[in-house]
Structure 1
């Protein structure tokens, strides 16, 4: 390592290889830059100054939130060892070592980059997408980051790649690390504790976030990759799908049976059954000939409609008969093989070409295809599947050439043994670079193109759901967790998966409720519906050969439990929507791991059988067959049962909770106010119902909450100040609303009631805006209930009581 020289934003140096790595194509001279991005964010890059290697370009990248000069008063220090090269990052406040890379050699060759570092503790979360617990196993665990169409199971590289982790330190502090690299990667976790990054190309582009707590780390990370989008309100309702609704009439009957059984439903979906010959941007003229009319009927019933859209474009139709392919060829939008022709794989329609979403012309062509299809069928959102990209042949129908990209010197332990397993040749050419460099970003770039197209075509907030993911996808899309199996283990593991996507900046996430693969059981489906009611994104989805699992097919008791869970979700949608507002504007998590909210409670570091909505609601689901009670951890403080206000006074302890089949255990944290609405069968209807407040008083008799409200579908309402924002406070036996900002969307909506938990004596009277009102006091739970109010939400109101 040469001398460190000052640069505009930090320091720079030249690295010279002292001895060979014994790997092919060593790079002898490297350029190191140390960028002090902010007081909390340290950024290091190592590049080859003699050759332009691929560097990740996130789509529609926003400008850096940081200044053009080196940050002042940093929380970190960095020291370098010159021979051999290594560096150590410390937290200044306690001199704690965050990273020490001297534990193994630093390697930088053409197709093999290696960096090892110590870890400050063994409590590490992240590095998805894998079938893991929330806290990773450091006992020589190898995690491969390579997007692949693989069913969730232990040890497999799954649909997304997120090279980001958070370390929880013993003293309650935390830090995060992000490796901005899109090549195939392997991360080897070691019990020291330490880890080793291996990347098969690109550059070393490393961010270190000093936090000092998990919530601030996530915000600092999202300042790099982008804050998540704001979903339309209807997207938070219940979604129903199956691969196997074979006709439009069959699809209609599903929605009708949901209404007849009095189940909330907002979005009816179709899988690939709708497509003519399984070709996207078509619909079958016989089985779905009246698809446009069916969708119009759904809209008249306040239902939305979403269908699947795979990226593979069929290549076998006669010329002039399939416009997406004909036009795509003319506009040169497809990924090419090494000879310069469109690379051909195989997906559901047979031989297919794959759009290159890094090409600006492809973005325009994709929008034209969507615009043409939506002019025929007014779908409300798009489900982009098979976008790792997935192919049923290895590489292409013609195989792959003998090249260093298709047979690299080192291949991480990927499912199938080769990088081109179930996908394209690595030598395939895209607009920005080779598929070898861009593979992990395919789903991200498709999500961006689809998000942008829907905005331009619909002129309202888009809904996109993707299977494949990469950092930054939360700006454009939600994610579901793929082809989960209908069993109790996968029910349990869905929780850490959802929580981890929250760390990655993808709050709109959920697993297929009741499972996709295999047959569910009545009990399993009830428990999954109860858990799924608290996924940020809730969809029941099922595969073709399996028994039906729509809520209405089960027995009366099971239906009642499912209906109760759905009604509870719908009643909480104002609160959930407000959480998404905070995710969109300030990078807060929606479904939140306990360690994020309680970083100084060591008992929370590994909990992944419970989770929070925001700071206020604790969800403790039943996750095993036949259980009638479950152990649940309650962090220190008072927690009230959301159902009846029963208080639990916890000293950071586990309690046993009754968990009969009709029970969903949800607790409200003291000091919080939850805005709710009476539920209806759709979000459109629910949004017109009276609000009510659940107020969980602290020991000092105080609480706080807020409500974000807009029309639920217009673009950029926060950015355009086209929204209402109301703050609720409680103290001194009084609840007060403060409409900080108002727009017309709150007009006509009223507060219909309040529930106040933690009122320790019966009130003598209750006043609403100064007028005496009737109330009920439950002496056993210390809960005050006031109903039959009609206080305008757009005005200041007070509800007070006298003891």
Structure 2
């Protein structure tokens, strides 16, 4: 049978196509307006081809009712018809690039894209019923299972942030958000789970359900992977085809793009559990500034409203913080933003518990009364959970965010939203806690984002949130990885967590730099973690247990090293902010696995301790106690050490030194790296007026380019209104000369970045006879950096050129 051949000849699609076309000639085809397959009872399968080129597959018992999704954006369906062919026992449907095969007897599907089999179901989507102790009030609950054949070499990525190896094959995972206090490496389930899976075979699948589910990625049967979702008879999923490096971007097209962050969020943020008083907070900020640490944010834990027993008060404790408005204003004058914490739990002793109880706005027990978690960790007589599924709570809850924002709070730390303590017997207006669990934080994130658009349309929201679900990125969420242990194992967990999040559309995953829970004060661990943190989406130090998270409380050696990397973070602001622009416009994560740009790394590199920062930089932190050298896999091409320009041939593993004061950073050939030479103590003073452009030429002499994005750092409408500068730098080597070009693709006068450019050409081993900037001939000079001069550093093979630039395209010519 034709579909049998589909399965037997997955690797021989030309033969398959010939057989298929020959069959069509023999049997003919007809067209049908929709692809809908009726099953037993009232069940049916409907497959829609979307204008994006993706497929939507719906298993339903409700006929053609519209699927309601909190994660997926509205999708347009292609208006065309399907070509339909049938033989005894088998059917095929073709439209555009897609052919769908259906084995009728087994109700099993095969998905073929551009004449290549993406995957075949191992069995038809199954429905089952079973008793489950998590649902004691019902005799049995339904389950829906999708089983898909997997090839021996297939690898799987994504599924949200998880502290396990990036290749998820062989793992059994839960789709159920879980906090794990003091977790370390090899923790498979964390605060955010995303039912999105990327296959190395060139497809991604998003299972569009918030219900708890299990992913068995060939851990039980090495030939099959399975998604099983509980307490539903229906399931919709999206099949996203494409090159491996494009699947995350296509997923963000499906679920929404991350808005630009406020630029200050790309600076250094200081936090701890917690600053007990206004005096302590002021002393820390003053001491950080006095010690020469750039600083853009200070996070206030729950002490700002009193303490653990007062959780839910949502207003300043003016005994602890007597003049918060003045404190915020004073911090603002030196570029430091205040970020308070809020949680959705309310202790019995909190100011608002009785009111919420009277309104019926907390989640309930089976008797219909407010559910009080008696053993809640805060004390305060137990706590209730605000039922954010009840829309009547939204304006009331928002009123506190609004009031604090008007007082000057710049952003929010939204904690405990998994929800952290969520008994299965708790009931929301949406249903049982277990079925309302994964979507809870997503509702919270959407609430804040929507209200900011309505009330504060000129402020970019920064929501430092601990939990979420599919599509959370479009609500300006900047999550962190939860309450990690203060240990080397906790530190080692962070790269796979960050990369798994990034591949799942969450471009800004960060961690509590230095570690949060347990352990002891450890200068080396703190140093290494902060070095790594300089090249992560959000650089924020945090910790608990009476162990300081601020660098000023460590040894002088530690302070000096950490200060160097915090300043390096600020020097890289132009590069990092351009990565943010790429994330918003294209969906690419800031931190990327090596295979994202170098497919050979899928097989060549199986470690978890290095990554790409953008396309041009490879970051290889030291991640072990006492480590003074490490192995680094460098992908194909030529790479250079950022620190000393040592050349490395890619496609192999090298051993490099890792002295305590230095984290290995590599730059690929054919890179123009944009940094700033402005001395910044806060991003507020950044003007993009003194840019440094480091050029590592391609050894084959080919041209290359990079982009630089700049706006005012605060307007949510900057992209939509074209209020930004977008510049292309291009290097074009030629016979006996090198051209370095600067040209604007977009120029908004109100944010034009004009001023000094410092070009640095690496590995320059030729003589310099003439240097032109446009029509201006530059003079040979020294290393003082005088405008319209150049200097050849022969010892380090660096050619320095200093010029000024305004708006018109200009070319630097070196002969």
Note whether the superposition's TM-score is higher than 0.5: yes
Equivalent residues of 2:271, 2:540 under 8 A apart: yes
Tell me the residue number matched to 1:693: 693
CA-based RMSD: 2.7
User: Is 1:37 the equivalent of 2:37?
Assistant: no
Q: Report the Cα distance in structure 1 between the residues aligned to 2:187 and 2:572, rounded to whole angstroms.
A: 36
Q: How does 1:46-57 map to 2 (within 5 A)?
A: 46-49=59-62, 57=69
Tell me the residue number matched to 2:137: none
Q: Report the Cα distance in structure 2 between the residues aligned to 1:762 and 1:607, rounded to whole angstroms.
A: 43
Tell me the residue number matched to 2:636: 636
Tell me the residue number matched to 1:500: 500
Q: Report the Cα distance in structure 2 between the residues aligned to 1:231 and 1:604, rounded to whole angstroms.
A: 35
Q: CA distance change for structure 1 residues 373 and 263 in 2, over 3 Å: closer, same or farther?
A: closer
Equivalent residues of 2:295, 2:682 under 8 A apart: yes
Equivalent residues of 1:86, 1:106 under 8 A apart: no
Q: Report the Cα distance in structure 2 between the residues aligned to 1:70 and 1:504, rounded to whole angstroms.
A: 32
* CA displacement, residues 57-102 of structure 1 (integer Å, 9 cap, x when unaligned): 217x643255455698644432122223222223444x34523322
User: Is 1:233 the equivalent of 2:263?
Assistant: yes
Tell me the residue number matched to 1:298: 331
- Work out the number of aligned pairs and report it: 735
Unaligned runs of 5+ in 2: 1-28, 83-93, 130-140, 779-787
Q: Report the Cα distance in structure 2 between the residues aligned to 1:512 and 1:531, rounded to whole angstroms.
A: 12
Equivalent residues of 1:671, 1:697 under 8 A apart: yes
Tell me the residue number matched to 2:764: 759
Q: Report the Cα distance in structure 2 between the residues aligned to 1:589 and 1:166, rounded to whole angstroms.
A: 14
Q: Report the Cα distance in structure 1 between the residues aligned to 2:717 and 2:670, rounded to whole angstroms.
A: 31
Deviation at 1:268, TM superposition (A): 0.8
Tell me the residue number matched to 1:786: 801
* CA displacement, residues 376-406 of structure 1 (integer Å, 9 cap, x when unaligned): x311000100001123xxxxxxxxxxxxxxx
Q: Report the Cα distance in structure 2 between the residues aligned to 1:434 and 1:56, rounded to whole angstroms.
A: 19
Q: CA distance change for structure 1 residues 390 and 624 in 2, over 3 Å: closer, same or farther?
A: same
Deviation at 1:657, TM superposition (A): 1.8
* CA displacement, residues 297-338 of structure 1 (integer Å, 9 cap, x when unaligned): 110111111011111134445xxxx4x556656765433443
Tell me the residue number matched to 1:281: 314
Tell me the residue number matched to 1:647: 647
Q: CA distance change for structure 1 residues 796 and 690 in 2, over 3 Å: closer, same or farther?
A: same
Tell me the residue number matched to 2:541: 540
Match of residue 248, structure 1, among 259, 278, 283: 278
Deviation at 1:220, TM superposition (A): 2.0
Rg larger in 1 or in 2? 2
Equivalent residues of 2:73, 2:256 under 8 A apart: yes
Equivalent residues of 1:117, 1:195 under 8 A apart: yes
Deviation at 1:646, TM superposition (A): 3.5
Tell me the residue number matched to 1:735: 740
* CA displacement, residues 185-216 of structure 1 (integer Å, 9 cap, x when unaligned): 111222524212121123221212211x2222
User: Is 1:165 the equivalent of 2:197?
Assistant: yes
Q: How does 1:255-274 map to 2 (within 5 A)?
A: 255-274=285-304
Tell me the residue number matched to 1:777: 792
Q: CA distance change for structure 1 residues 528 and 34 in 2, over 3 Å: closer, same or farther?
A: same
Tell me the residue number matched to 2:437: 439
Deviation at 1:130, TM superposition (A): 2.8
Deviation at 1:224, TM superposition (A): 1.8
Tell me the residue number matched to 2:672: 673
Tell me the residue number matched to 1:614: 614
Equivalent residues of 2:507, 2:588 under 8 A apart: no
Equivalent residues of 1:75, 1:210 under 8 A apart: no
Equivalent residues of 1:11, 1:33 under 8 A apart: yes
Deviation at 1:708, TM superposition (A): 1.3
Q: Report the Cα distance in structure 1 between the residues aligned to 2:194 and 2:265, rounded to whole angstroms.
A: 24
Q: How does 1:146-545 map to 2 (within 5 A)?
A: 146-151=176-181, 152-153=183-184, 154-155=186-187, 157-169=189-201, 174-190=202-218, 192-202=222-232, 203-211=234-242, 213-276=243-306, 277-317=310-350, 322=351, 328=356, 333-345=361-373, 346=376, 348=378, 349-375=380-406, 377-391=407-421, 423-425=422-424, 428-430=427-429, 432-459=430-457, 460-476=459-475, 477-518=477-518, 519-543=520-544, 545=545
Q: Report the Cα distance in structure 1 between the residues aligned to 2:794 and 2:609, rounded to whole angstroms.
A: 32
Q: Report the Cα distance in structure 2 between the residues aligned to 1:264 and 1:5, rounded to whole angstroms.
A: 68
Deviation at 1:453, TM superposition (A): 2.7
Q: Report the Cα distance in structure 2 between the residues aligned to 1:220 and 1:7, rounded to whole angstroms.
A: 28
Q: Report the Cα distance in structure 1 between the residues aligned to 2:804 and 2:531, rounded to whole angstroms.
A: 31
**Local SS of the residue matching 2:382:** strand
Tell me the residue number matched to 2:111: 89
Tell me the residue number matched to 1:135: 167
Question: Which stretch shows the higher mean deviation, 236-245 or 337-346?
Answer: 337-346
Q: Report the Cα distance in structure 2 between the residues aligned to 1:717 and 1:39, rounded to whole angstroms.
A: 26
Deviation at 1:294, TM superposition (A): 1.3
Tell me the residue number matched to 1:656: 655
Q: TM-score, normalised by structure 1?
A: 0.86
Deviation at 1:438, TM superposition (A): 2.3
* CA displacement, residues 586-629 of structure 1 (integer Å, 9 cap, x when unaligned): 21221111111112444456343111122111111111122222
Q: CA distance change for structure 1 residues 315 and 521 in 2, over 3 Å: closer, same or farther?
A: same
User: Is 1:98 the equivalent of 2:119?
Assistant: yes
Deviation at 1:649, TM superposition (A): 3.0
Equivalent residues of 2:363, 2:426 under 8 A apart: no
Deviation at 1:124, TM superposition (A): 1.3
Q: How does 1:552-631 map to 2 (within 5 A)?
A: 552-603=552-603, 606-631=606-631
User: Is 1:750 the equivalent of 2:752?
Assistant: no
Tell me the residue number matched to 2:811: 798
User: Is 1:63 the equivalent of 2:94?
Assistant: no
Q: CA distance change for structure 1 residues 50 and 92 in 2, over 3 Å: closer, same or farther?
A: closer
Q: Report the Cα distance in structure 1 between the residues aligned to 2:619 and 2:187, rounded to whole angstroms.
A: 28
Deviation at 1:748, TM superposition (A): 6.4
Unaligned runs of 5+ in 1: 17-27, 392-422
Deviation at 1:161, TM superposition (A): 1.5
Equivalent residues of 1:75, 1:92 under 8 A apart: yes
Match of residue 77, structure 1, among 83, 89, 99: 99
